Amino acid sequence: MAAQEWSPSSWREKPIAQDVIYEDKAHLDKVLTKLRRLPPLVSPVEIDRLRSQLADVATGKAFLLQGGDCAELFDDCSSDPIEHKLSLILLMSLIILHGSRLPVVRIARIAGQYAKPRSKPTEMVDFEIPNGPVGEDGVQKTKIEKREILSFRGDNVNGYDKEERNPDPERLLGAYFHSTATLNYIRTLLLSGFADLHKPLDWSFSHVRSPEIHKAFSAVIESLQDSLDFMKVATGAVGGGERGGMETVDLFTSHEALLLEYEEALTRSDQGSTSRSFSPSTSRGSTPAVSRSVSQVRISSESTYPHSPVRPSKSGSLHNSFSDIRLETKKTKEKWYNTSAHFIWIGDRTRQLDGAHVEYFRGIANPIGIKTGPSMKPEEIVRLLDIVNPDRIPGKVTLIGRYGADKVDQFLPAHIDAVKATDHVVVWQCDAMHGNTKSSQTDPSLKTRHFVDVITEITKSMAIHREKGTILGGVHLELTGEVNEEGYSVTECIGGSMELEDKDLSFNYRTHCDPRLNFEQGLDVAFLLADHLRS
Ligand code: PEP
Ligand code: MN
C-alpha cells in the first residue's frame, strides 16, 4: 500500500498521545502564525552535517555523546548555567576521544528541551486555604486542602508554580526565544575559542574537589599535549584545517519533539518556501498542505558532487571538467527540515505506529532518535524503521535504548536481532537513565538514580553488542555541570567518585524533573567509557 501523502501538518489527522489542550484556540493560532514567520534556529547544512557524522557512528568510525537536562527551564537561560553545561560535555568528549581514539559527535539536550511527557496528566497538591477566624495576632487561620491540578508539562506548556499550571500558548514563543538566546550564546562561546583544545583546563574545572579526578584529568591533558596521534584524530573530529584546527568543535542541539504544533511551525522546506507558504492550517483537522516535487534548474558536474567519485566517461578517460558542466533541469524531491534543532527524538510514550508523532517524524530530513524500551516489540522496531526511514539512509535513525540495568539483558538482544535481519543501518545508543529511576529512601518524594546502575546498563549494552557483532555507538545521559552559588555540584544521583549517598541528595537537589548526573559523575562516566572503548 502506498504511503499517504506527508506534509508538515499531516500529523493532525492522526491520534495523538500526550496532547496539550489549550483553552484559548485563537491565542494559540496567533502564536503559531508568529512562529511560522520567525527565522529557523538551525540550518539544513548543519543538520545534514550531523546526519553524515551519525553515519560514521553507525559504522563504528565515531562515538556519539548526547547529554543534558531532563528538562531545561527558561530560568536556565543565563551565561553561567550554559557555560557549565557546555564545559561538562566538552570535557567528557575530550576524555572519550582521548581514550577511544575515536572522533566524538556531541549532541546536547539544550536550546529547546522544554516539553515533558508525563505518566499522569494531573497531580494532588497542598493548598493553604484561609478559612478560619482572625486570631489575636491579626492573622487569619488557614487549613491545608488537597487539590488536583494539571501536572507540570515543561516551561513551554505551563509553569512549575501550582498557580501556573494552565497551558499558556504564549510559552511556545517563550520557548523559541529562550532556545534562540541559548543557542546564540553557545555559538558565541564556540566562536570565541571556548572550546579551544589548547586550554581545556579553563573549562570550569577548578571547582572539582576530587583529587582522583584532577589527577586523571591532568594525565589526559599531558597526553593531549604530547600525542601527535591524538591531535590527528581530534583535528578530524573538529572539522580540521578549514576552521583553523583545534580552536572549536561541532556541537549539535536536540530535544524531544513532543509539541507538534511548535515543531510544525519550525518545519521549513529546502526549496525556499517556509511553512508559511502552505495553507494556514493551525487548527486540527484542516486540509494538510500538499508536499510537492519541484523542478529545479541547477548546474551539474559529476565531479563537483562532494561525495561522489569521479567516474570515467564512456571512452574511458576522465571527464574534462568544463565540457562536463551542463545546465540541466532535474526534478528533485522537496526536503523538509525541522529547524528547531539538529536532532529530535520520539519519546517512549509517543511512538505509536499509527500516531501523530511517528507521522510527523517520517517526513523530515533531520537525523532522528526513537526511544526503545522493554515495552517495544522487536517487530515494532522494524515497522517503525520502515516508516521513518524508507530510503534506508545510514545513521538517519538512532535507537535510544532505555531498558534499565536489570532488564537490558532480557530485551536488547531480540531488538538487535530484529534490526540485523533488515537492511537498516542504525546508531545504537544507550540511554542509561530512564530505565534506572528510583525513589530516594530518605525522602521518597525525590527521584534518584544510582551511578552503578548507569554504568552497569552501559557496560552490559556494550557486551551484548560485541556478542551480536553490532556496535554500541553512543550514550544518552541526563547530566549537568551546573553548580550552586558556593560552587557545589547538584546532588541528584547516588554514587560515583564523590560517593554521594542517599542522605546527601537534599543538599543541592535542583531538578524539577528527572535526576541528572552532576559534573563529577559525568566525568566518571567519561573515564569509564574511555577505558571500555580502548579495550
Ligand atoms: C526523557 O528523555 O527525558 C524521557 C522522558 O525519556 P523516555 O521517553 O525514554 O521516558
Ligand atoms: Mn528525563
Q: Are strands 252-256 and 343-346 parallel, antiparallel or unpaired?
A: parallel
Q: Give this complex's ipTM.
A: 0.99
Span of 236-245, 251-260, 446-455 with lowest mean pLDDT: 236-245
Statement: residue 37 has pLDDT above 80: yes
Average pLDDT over residues 83-96: 93
More confident site: 383 or 316: 383
Statement: residue 7 has pLDDT above 80: yes
Which stretches of 262-360 are assigned E, i.e. beta strand? 267-269, 293-300, 326-333, 336-338, 343-346
Cβ-based neighbour number of residue 9 at 10 Å: 25
Residues with CB under 5 A from ligand 2 (ion): 70, 514
Name residues contacting ligand 1 (CB within 6 A). Answer: 70, 117, 256, 347-349, 371, 402, 434, 514
Nearest CA to 68 out of 43, 46, 90 is that of 90
CA 90 to CA 189: how far, in whole Å? 12
* Numbered residues of the known binding site: 70, 109, 371, 402, 434, 478, 514
Residue to mutate, 73, 256, 516, ligand 1, most ligand atoms under 8 Å from C-beta: 256
Residue 227 phi/psi, 5-degree rounding, is -90, 110
Structural contact between residues 461 and 412, judged by C-beta atoms closer than 8 angstroms: yes
Residue to mutate, 349, 447, 457, 516, ligand 1, most ligand atoms under 8 Å from C-beta: 349
pTM: 0.85
More confident site: 488 or 448: 448
Nearest CA to ligand 1 atom 1: 70
Average pLDDT over residues 19-40: 98
Reported confidence tier of residue 261, pLDDT bands at 50, 70, 90: very high
Q: What is the mean pLDDT of the chain?
A: 85
Reported confidence tier of residue 378, pLDDT bands at 50, 70, 90: very high
Nearest CA to 447 out of 436, 457, 456, 431 is that of 436
Reported confidence tier of residue 279, pLDDT bands at 50, 70, 90: very low
Statement: residue 56 has pLDDT above 70: yes
Residue 55, helix vs strand vs coil: helix
Average pLDDT over residues 446-461: 98
Give residue 16 CA to ligand 1 midpoint distance, Å. 17
